[in-house]
Amino acid sequence: MPMFNNTRRVKHSPEQMFALVADVEKYPQFLPLCEGLTVRRRTPREGGGEVLLADMSVGYKAIRETFTSRVTLDPDNLKILVEYVDGPFRYLENRWTFRPGERGCEVGFFISYEFASRMLGLLMGAMFDKAFRKFAEAFERRADVVYGRGAPSALVTET
């Protein structure tokens, strides 16, 4: 099962980065492959935060797919969990963490997925891997636009 794990130090606060990643409707403006995102439902979470049911449309050249996921926003613990509901995957889980760090925060990004169709996996797999490697960078660039630019960030770990 393909997997990508990355931690980056950024110059923005954990709360700023959480808010940026939680603002899913803005993804089509800056996220690679994301052509559209619609939140179908927002449900308040007991203890704070909310759970979204969202449809994301991704595309590359002639291939277009839409999938539905449940997004759990946990602002008290600065965590976001994305779980697959429906679409072209057999499995998809994505986790974000935001920890205070020196002059900013550490943003953790983990994703594990498997396409339901072997053919789709062959067609889209390599392209998805490349896109996931650019996700952290795309969010960091977006944070610089939204919150202002500062010293460059450093990649901490990637697997």
Region at 33 (left for phi over 0; alpha for psi -120 to 50; beta for the rest): left
* Contact partners, residue 145, CB within 8 Å, separation at least 6: 30
Element (H, E) at 6: strand 3-10
pLDDT at site 154: 43
- The residue written with tokens 């759970």 in the block is 51
Token pair recorded at residue 137: 């960078």
Residue 117: what pLDDT?
Answer: 83
3-158 CATH: 3.30.530.20
So what's the pLDDT on residue 4? 86
Distance (Å, whole) CA 57 – CA 45: 25
Domain boundaries, the chain: 3-158
> Which one, of 50, 40, 30, 53, lies nearest residue 141 by Cα?
30
Return the pLDDT at 143: 93
Model pLDDT, residue 106: 95
- 134/146 Cα distance (integer angstroms): 18
What is the pTM for the complete model shown? 0.87
Helix-, strand-, coil-residue percentages of the chain, each rounded to 5: 30, 50, 20
pLDDT in tens, the chain (159 residues): 788 898 999 999 999 999 999 999 999 999 988 999 999 999 999 889 999 999 999 887 787 889 999 999 999 999 999 999 999 889 999 999 999 988 899 999 999 988 888 877 777 767 777 777 788 789 989 999 999 875 444 444 444
Residue 73 CA to residue 22 CA, distance in Å, equals 7
Distance of alpha carbon 68 from alpha carbon 85, whole angstroms: 5
Q: Are 33 and 58 in contact (CB under 8 A)?
A: yes
Alpha helices in the chain (DSSP H): 14-22, 118-147
Q: What is the pLDDT of residue 3?
A: 84
pLDDT reported for residue 125: 67
